[in-house]
Structure 1
Amino acid sequence: MNMKLSPVSSKIPAMLHGADYNPEQWLKYPEVLREDIRMMKLAKCNVMSVGIFSWVSLEPEEGVFTFHWLDSILDTFAENGIYAFLATPSGARPAWMSAKYPEVLRVERNRVRNLHGVRHNHCYTSPVYRQKTALLNGKLAERYADHPAGIGWHISNEYGGECHCDLCQANFREWLKVKYDDSLDELNHAWWATFWSHTYTSWDQVESPAPHGENQVHGLNLDWRRFVSESTIDFCQHEIDSVRNYNSELPVTTNMHNIDGVDYRKLAKILDVVSWDAYPAWGYTEDNDDARLAAWTAMHHDMFRTFKHKPFLLMESTPSLTNWQSVSKLKRPGMHKLSSLQAVAHGSDSVQYFQWRKSRGSSEKFHGAVIDHSGHAETRVFRDVAEVGRTLAELQDVVGTTTPVQTAIIYDWDNRWAVKDAQGIRNSGLKYEETVLQHYQALWELGIPVDIIGSEEDFSAYKLVIGPMLYLISEDNGKRIEKYVEEGGTFLGTYWSGVVGETDLCHLGGFPGPLRRTLGIWAEETEGLHSRDLNGLVMNSGNALSLEGDYDAHEIAELIHLEGAEALGTYRTDFYARQPALTLNRLGEGRAYHLATRVKDAGFYVELYAAIAKQAGIVRTLDTELPAGVTAQWRTDGAIDYVFVQNFSGMEQSVELDGRAYTELESGEAVPAVLTLPVHGLAILKRAH
């Protein structure tokens, strides 16, 4: 069975390797531009993103367009076998526009309009800004949509932020009228506005949240976030529409980065290709735990791959260091190749950098780049990049391959926004993302590939679905999980789930609301624990998972009653000692587990998911025990599997393979039964599917 998809562009059916290129910064230095082309080829770079922040270089005065420099760059690319993602430059508009049309400038939550500056400081609602972006984008598309160097549109850059101007306030009210059927009664009920006498009696009274105004109506806060997200997506669609008609075959993408402000799952629906910017802080996290950071990064690679269930693009990463950390450390030897190929292991068909050449001035003059201020290729960083380029050139057969997945974790933007806005059990930090990571990292350590899905997606393809802290879940989505379990699926839920519905109103009748029948429990109370507090999960003898042990638990403890479920483990201490803390409910043909407390021991999650995966018949990438900090991920074309074994442990490791026949992809040599990985080492293996 062929499981291989088409490459991003038929012009270049290979792994993409390149960078964000800003030639407009170097137009006074023609010798630099000539040398750039030579070194791009030396590093085996085959693609560049151009024009991302080039608006003033393309339109220095209103209505005056200067394309000659970009003509020259793209023509030179084509002559040298280099391709380009053509960017729309809306991420930073020129000063002349801000001066002439101040309405394009954003208004902050405090209702003060910004001055011109930085980037993404513009209003997505502004008719003027929409008109100006459509005009310039159209001219770019008319000129370059059929250029031989072009392989896709890079729409704007890292969309994000919000505007509170009068135009946006008016649009927000119209959005609410549609959502609530033009009924203030419906809105007031959905937001529970009778609380503190906040009932609205006129649509004109509704305003976006403000630090000096309304910010305690959680339904308002949630709807505002939804509106901002949808407005941003609408603006992206506006930009896509302005270039699409000139060559409908040219794919569109936009590089995602700020995961907080926009529902990327919805944004992905209007794109042809998903791309994102990854900047993990290797070697200088507070806990100095590169394995945890690797799992965090892998989780996001999987998330972006899952948006379209096909390969994505790593659009930006740093070849060395960044310039925004409190301490900027260099990548250690081997880490650049390991971290770059990590993206490929999780489904990327590219490795690209910010940036090709360091800016000479301004805020990113010390941000990592392939070419340093020295201006030559005789650097450690360049050698690392060239090594990745050579490896990617050997991975042409991997392009378009897919990731077979039997396990999914639910991660909803609505839920994330709502749970972080909740005021209650632990205002010092509910740690939603960290909770998701706890569950993901155990699967990563086991070498079990994972999709990161929404609660509205089809669960039937998965043998195991995990819902960490599903605080916000609708009745409909709760029923869908129930049906999934009844039909034979395995589900695991946690504390602080099934608490509110889609408008952030608490479910009546007891928590976990629409998950109560599925999990077979009633959560009567939930307690937040101080950092100094410690409880524990003690496994019951002879439990259905055959787990043994006594594991520390902290931060959150849910007091639950069994309603058909059986206890697999109980609390260790406090007045709820010996009450259920881990349960199993057999429903129909499936199983539903509930974890009522946050277990502190990472090893618990590895043991838990190893047992659940075995019972559910989930296939691991390698049927062998992996050392801590080592993972194995795979992609396949249906005939050949490509297995990436990666060592993030910080020390040399040995991996005993599972008895199948493997060859090393780059050398073609047979792999011994025990694979040795150096510090920051990886191996790319082939086997029959």
Structure 2
Amino acid sequence: MVHNKLQKIWYGGDYNPEQWDEATWDEDIRMFKLAGIDVATINVFSWAIVQRGEDTYDFTFLDEMMEKLYKNGVYVCLATGTGAHPAWMAKTYTDILRTDFDGRKRKFGGRHNSCPNSPTYRKYASRMAEKLANRYQNHPALVLWHVSNEYGGYCYCDNCTTAFRQWLKRKYDSLQAVNKAWNTNFWGHTFYDWDEIVLPNGLSEEWGSGRNTNFQGISLDYRRFQSDSLLTCYKLERDAIRKHDQQIPITTNLMGLYEELDYFSWAKEMDVISWDNYPSIDTPESLTAMTHDLMRGLKSGQPFLLMEQTPSQQNWQPYNSLKRPGVMRLWSYQAVAHGADSVLFFQLRRSVGATEKFHGAVIEHVGHEHTRVFKETSKLGNELMKLDNRIIGSRVTAKVAIVFDWENRWGVHLSSGPSVALDYVTEVHKYYEVFYDNNIPIDLIGTDENLENYDVVIAPVLYMIKEGYATKVEEFVEHGGTFITTFFSGIVNENDLVTLGGYPGQLRNLLGIWVEEIDALPPNQKNQIVMKKSWGKLEGSYTCNLLFDLLHTEGAEVLASYGSDFYRGMPVVTKNHYGNGEAFYIASSPDKEFLSGFLKNICAEKAITPLVKTKPGVEVTKREMGETAYLFVLNHQNHPAYFDLGEIQAVDLLSGSTFTGECSIDAKDVLVLQQSTKVN
């Protein structure tokens, strides 16, 4: 949802003019024009400047900056500034300060040190948002409202204790229901009064910074509660803005695979998804692509905003490598290729001091335009102007979906066994990577998403089956869909209570199997997946590791069996016909060779083909609008590469060159190929 004041891909980023004098502002704006920057996010951390006391507000600085930017052709994404409360507020109202996992009350300092259940914080944050909206609602520079900044972190204070008990009362109605949901007869935990419930932290049920818990039920609910609490803070500011401005979109910047918040529930309250992309030098390009697709999937494929990325390097990773020449441009287009309608940076000018002084910026400490980073930034800005409005609003479409669920992720990671090496994101990425390598579009979806538009749905490690979800999957398969799930699936309900009667619980009938035991071995110890007969290019033996389900068939066909250990010969890969569709179960974590062959066979049966044939390291995606399709070809390698368009004829919007048949692309280069007629 890009606002119609600026019908192009937005280009710019976070700007902190409060850290500089007026002469520097003028020089910055001169350089913004050189770089093609047309959107600046301001006021992200200016609460202490705008509100200097209980009832003392001074908007002089913001007034001047809004006018100055607009007069010079730069639109504004206006933040509410509530990501860090002022020192005077913490001094006067100590309830605003968080208590950490180990029960220590924080002092003023850092950022995100506000308790989300503090009445003080909620009152002043929403008041600030309303005052800003009342003042700037009709300002011609305004294109987006940015609430707070990178919400995250849990609190364990008295405010949260009281609010958590109230949250539980609303959810369960009675203590009897709480005791049942949490299985409190275990270890004598039965509660007879709401005040007996204490928060699950390092002083009670959890240890290892929250990675371990004695009672999964309370720990799961506390994560839901904290996610809801922070979301309530967002909604209070959003609603305060909406009292005065019903037009300008409202967002907050998410953090991709960040574990602590359920972004699918957040997405329902946001006008447009925006997120901050900070891969390291060794992050697989496929993992970054998967995260873009997840952010796009939060709102059923709606284009999103790339709110932050660095033009050069981070400051907070163990090894803050520079982006090599061409990589900033390449990764920016990767975001656009997966659905972004903006390319925004943190930051536009490097800070002179404090923790982010070595975080990259468009304008470096040297202060002029004669730097490698600025030259690359200017080149990209000019290209985005050349693209004009042709890309914005177009969408990625896919016939394959992977299910990603934050509550399921919490459940997997909080489970006391079977393996410390089991990582939910890693297993999801293994499946995603095969489609990425083969240039097959894929959506990442939540459990609320309609499955009708997909031919194949994959749910790796679907440990938690929420109410009604098994029925949804059964209906999908019954009507001809293909469903694939894996080991450690169908184990528990949403309260982390085991579904009795044999794993995989509610999925047992759909899959035609039951799992008797689960073996867990160190990751370096392998077993084998031995094919019963050849299937496509799958034949012979492959390796698997991590977890090993010992299963029995109940109508399912055995495609492969284990090759060693005492369960040699037991099924490891099965297929079950259900209605007009099929459901597959993979009982261990397979090697890439097996998974690649397996998923290629699935795609062949469903007539799902790659967008374009390429060599490894060349990524292809497609965005569509009406009858027009845009193919993005990205070469992540350090050498030229080839790809084959076949009979497709397309024009590169960046160079004007025409491409068809076998084509070449330079190292770290990008092509944006427009097809006049949509090609399937």
Please give the TM-score of this superposition, normalised by the length of structure 2: 0.96
1:224 maps to 222
Q: Does 1:611 align with 2:610?
A: no
CA distance in structure 2 between the aligned counterparts of 1:580 and 1:143, rounded to whole angstroms: 66
User: For 2:110, what is the secondary structure of its paired residue?
Assistant: coil
Q: Does 1:353 align with 2:345?
A: yes
How much does 1:246 deviate?
A: 1.2
1:321 maps to 313
How much does 1:495 deviate?
A: 0.4
1:362 maps to 354
Q: Does 1:517 align with 2:505?
A: no
1:570 maps to 561
User: For 1:48, what is the secondary structure of its paired residue?
Assistant: strand
2:277 maps to 278
Gaps of 5+ in 1: 1-6
Deviations along 1:86-125, one digit per CA (max 9) or x if unpaired, are: 1011100110100011110011222221000000000111
How much does 1:488 deviate?
A: 0.6
Give me the CA root mean square deviation.
Answer: 1.3
CA distance in structure 1 between the aligned counterparts of 2:567 and 2:667, rounded to whole angstroms: 45
Q: Does 1:205 align with 2:196?
A: yes
Q: 2:518 aligns with which of 502, 523, 526?
A: 526
1:8 maps to 2
Q: 1:303 aligns with which of 294, 297, 305?
A: 294
Amino acid in structure 2 at the alignment position of 1:440: Y
CA distance in structure 1 between the aligned counterparts of 2:85 and 2:516, rounded to whole angstroms: 54
Matches within 5 A, 1:479-490: 479-490=471-482
1:383 maps to 375
Q: Does 1:419 align with 2:412?
A: yes
Q: Which stretch has the larger CA shift, 659-668 or 450-459?
A: 659-668
1:235 maps to 233
How much does 1:328 deviate?
A: 1.4
How much does 1:556 deviate?
A: 1.4
CA distance in structure 2 between the aligned counterparts of 1:113 and 1:596, rounded to whole angstroms: 46
Q: 2:391 aligns with which of 386, 398, 416?
A: 398
How much does 1:475 deviate?
A: 4.6
1:122 maps to 114
Deviations along 1:148-183, one digit per CA (max 9) or x if unpaired, are: 1000100110001121111211110111111112x2
How much does 1:672 deviate?
A: 4.1
Amino acid in structure 2 at the alignment position of 1:114: R
Q: 1:410 aligns with which of 399, 403, 411?
A: 403
How much does 1:546 deviate?
A: 5.2
How much does 1:650 deviate?
A: 4.2
Q: 1:89 aligns with which of 62, 67, 81?
A: 81
CA distance in structure 2 between the aligned counterparts of 1:197 and 1:621, rounded to whole angstroms: 58
CA distance in structure 2 between the aligned counterparts of 1:264 and 1:312, rounded to whole angstroms: 14
2:573 maps to 582
User: For 1:642, what is the secondary structure of its paired residue?
Assistant: strand
User: 8 Å contact 1:145–1:247 — kept in the other structure?
Assistant: yes
CA distance in structure 2 between the aligned counterparts of 1:119 and 1:104, rounded to whole angstroms: 12
Q: Does 1:149 align with 2:141?
A: yes
Identity %, equivalent residues: 41
CA distance in structure 1 between the aligned counterparts of 2:575 and 2:487, rounded to whole angstroms: 14
Matches within 5 A, 1:130-141: 130-141=122-133
Q: Does 1:659 align with 2:675?
A: no
CA distance in structure 1 between the aligned counterparts of 2:446 and 2:31, rounded to whole angstroms: 43
Deviations along 1:221-243, one digit per CA (max 9) or x if unpaired, are: 00000000111111100010111
Deviations along 1:592-627, one digit per CA (max 9) or x if unpaired, are: 111111112x233222222111211224322x3x22
Amino acid in structure 1 at the alignment position of 2:40: M
Q: Does 1:33 align with 2:22?
A: no
User: 8 Å contact 2:512–2:554 — kept in the other structure?
Assistant: yes
1:4 maps to none
1:451 maps to 443
Q: Which stretch has the larger CA shift, 436-445 or 109-118?
A: 109-118
How much does 1:515 deviate?
A: 0.9
Q: Which stretch has the larger CA shift, 80-89 or 671-680?
A: 671-680
User: For 1:518, what is the secondary structure of its paired residue?
Assistant: helix
How much does 1:542 deviate?
A: 3.7
Q: Does 1:176 align with 2:176?
A: no
Q: Which stretch has the larger CA shift, 327-336 or 218-227?
A: 327-336
User: 8 Å contact 1:498–1:514 — kept in the other structure?
Assistant: yes
Deviations along 1:12-62, one digit per CA (max 9) or x if unpaired, are: 010001010000111xx2211001111111111110100000011111233
2:210 maps to none
User: For 2:268, what is the secondary structure of its paired residue?
Assistant: helix
User: For 1:60, what is the secondary structure of its paired residue?
Assistant: strand
User: 8 Å contact 1:474–1:514 — kept in the other structure?
Assistant: no
CA distance in structure 2 between the aligned counterparts of 1:576 and 1:423, rounded to whole angstroms: 24
Amino acid in structure 1 at the alignment position of 2:605: Q
1:102 maps to 94
Kindly report structure 1 stretches of 4+ aligned residues shifted beyond 4 Å: none
User: For 1:643, what is the secondary structure of its paired residue?
Assistant: strand
CA distance in structure 1 between the aligned counterparts of 2:52 and 2:539, rounded to whole angstroms: 70
How much does 1:485 deviate?
A: 0.3
Deviations along 1:371-397, one digit per CA (max 9) or x if unpaired, are: 110001110011111122122223220
CA distance in structure 1 between the aligned counterparts of 2:187 and 2:418, rounded to whole angstroms: 21
User: 8 Å contact 1:153–1:250 — kept in the other structure?
Assistant: yes
Q: 1:639 aligns with which of 608, 621, 627?
A: 627
CA distance in structure 1 between the aligned counterparts of 2:673 and 2:569, rounded to whole angstroms: 48
User: 8 Å contact 1:445–1:606 — kept in the other structure?
Assistant: no
Q: Against the structure 1 CA distance between its residues 238 and 105, is the aligned structure 2 distance closer, same or farther, given a 3 Å change threshold?
A: same
1:264 maps to 263
CA distance in structure 2 between the aligned counterparts of 1:47 and 1:630, rounded to whole angstroms: 31
CA distance in structure 1 between the aligned counterparts of 2:540 and 2:31, rounded to whole angstroms: 57
User: 8 Å contact 2:646–2:662 — kept in the other structure?
Assistant: no
Amino acid in structure 1 at the alignment position of 2:627: A
Q: 1:48 aligns with which of 37, 40, 43?
A: 40
How much does 1:326 deviate?
A: 1.3
User: 8 Å contact 1:446–1:606 — kept in the other structure?
Assistant: no
User: For 1:179, what is the secondary structure of its paired residue?
Assistant: helix
Deviations along 1:422-449, one digit per CA (max 9) or x if unpaired, are: 012112x211110000000111111111
1:3 maps to none
CA distance in structure 1 between the aligned counterparts of 2:375 and 2:596, rounded to whole angstroms: 37
CA distance in structure 1 between the aligned counterparts of 2:32 and 2:322, rounded to whole angstroms: 22
Amino acid in structure 2 at the alignment position of 1:589: N
Q: Which stretch has the larger CA shift, 549-558 or 334-343?
A: 549-558
Amino acid in structure 1 at the alignment position of 2:269: I
Q: Does 1:439 align with 2:431?
A: yes
Q: Which stretch has the larger CA shift, 491-500 or 301-310?
A: 301-310
User: 8 Å contact 2:534–2:540 — kept in the other structure?
Assistant: no
How much does 1:679 deviate?
A: 2.5
Q: Which stretch has the larger CA shift, 587-596 or 564-573?
A: 564-573
User: 8 Å contact 2:514–2:553 — kept in the other structure?
Assistant: yes
User: 8 Å contact 1:409–1:466 — kept in the other structure?
Assistant: yes
1:548 maps to 539
CA distance in structure 2 between the aligned counterparts of 1:30 and 1:171, rounded to whole angstroms: 45
CA distance in structure 2 between the aligned counterparts of 1:412 and 1:150, rounded to whole angstroms: 34
CA distance in structure 2 between the aligned counterparts of 1:587 and 1:241, rounded to whole angstroms: 46
CA distance in structure 2 between the aligned counterparts of 1:553 and 1:652, rounded to whole angstroms: 35
Q: Does 1:599 align with 2:597?
A: no
User: 8 Å contact 1:482–1:517 — kept in the other structure?
Assistant: no
Amino acid in structure 1 at the alignment position of 2:163: N
Gaps of 5+ in 2: 207-213
CA distance in structure 1 between the aligned counterparts of 2:237 and 2:150, rounded to whole angstroms: 14
